[in-house]
Amino acid sequence: MHTNTKGLRTALLGAMLALAAIAAPAQALDTTNVAFIQTSTAPTSIPVGHLEFCKSHRDDCRPHANPVTAVSLDDQRWQQLLNINAYVNQTVTPVTDEDLYKVAEFWTYPNGYGDCEDYALEKRRQLIGAGWPASTLLMAVVKQANGEGHAVLLVRTDRGDLVLDNQVGSVDLWSQTPYKFVKRQSQADAGQWVDMMDDRNITITAAIQ
C-alpha cells in the first residue's frame, strides 16, 4: 500500500486537540455514538496481505476468548499511544513492498523498513506488549482521497475509535481523518474482518481491491 510519511510535526498538540474533541465516556459505553465507526455483523473478505500474514503468524490471528469492547483511555494509556505511534513512525523507514520484497503486497513486521501496514502491525504488537487488549487493536483498510489503498491501526477506546497512522504524527478520532474507512479486523476474531460503514461525504477517485 501507498506510504507517504509526513514529519511528526505538532504530534502532541494535534493529539491533545483530537482527544479534547471526543466526548467524555458515559457510564455505560454506547458504541453507537458517532465517535465509534459502525461495522457489519457478518464477516467480509480478508485482505490478501493479512491472509498471508496469518499463515506465518497464527498467534496474531486467533479468536479472542474474552473480547474487550473498548479500553479505558486514562492519562497513562493516552501517553502510551502517543509514544508508540511516534516511536514506530520515527524508527521505520518507508519503503514500498515492490521495492523491498518485489511483490505488490506483503504484510509483515518491519525490519527497519516497511510499508503502511507494517507500521500498523508493529504498533499493534508494541501496544499488546504494553498490556493493551488485542481485541481493541484493529488493523484497518482505508481509501485515501486519491483512491489509493492505505492501512492504519484503529484503536477502540471508551473515548471513541482512534487512528494511528504512519502518514501523520497525531493520534486522531477516526472521523477527523481524510480517509474513507473500508474494513477492519473483527473484535471477536483477529483472523476475520468486517466491513465498516462510513457514510461521510468524502470524494474517492478510485476503488481499492
- Position 146 in a domain: yes
- Position 101 in a domain: yes
Domain count, the chain: 1
Domain housing 45: 11-19+39-62+71-197
State the DSSP code for 117: H
- The CATH number for 154's domain is 3.10.620.30
- Position 170 in a domain: yes
Strand 93-94 versus strand 193-197 pairing type: unpaired
CA distance 160 to 74: 13
- Position 181 in a domain: yes
Determine the pLDDT at residue 207: 37
Q: How many CB atoms lie within 10 A of CB 139?
A: 24
E strand spans, 113-175: 113-114, 137-143, 149-157, 160-164, 172-173
- Position 183 in a domain: yes
Count H helices and E strands in the chain, helices first. 5, 9
- Position 29 in a domain: no
Between the alpha carbon of residue 5 and those of residues 25, 32, 123, 132, 160, the distances in Å are 32, 32, 15, 26, 25
- Position 2 in a domain: no
H/E stretch holding 41 = strand 38-44
pTM here is 0.85
Determine the pLDDT at residue 12: 43
Q: Return per-residue pLDDT of the chain as tens, 209 residues.
A: 654 444 444 344 444 444 544 444 445 789 999 999 999 999 999 999 999 999 999 999 999 999 999 999 999 999 999 999 999 999 999 999 999 999 999 999 999 999 999 999 999 999 999 999 999 999 999 999 999 999 999 999 999 999 999 999 999 999 999 999 999 999 999 999 999 999 887 654 443 33
In 74-90, which positions are buried (b, 16+ CB within 10 angstroms) versus exposed (e)?
eeebbebbbebbbebbe
- Position 206 in a domain: no
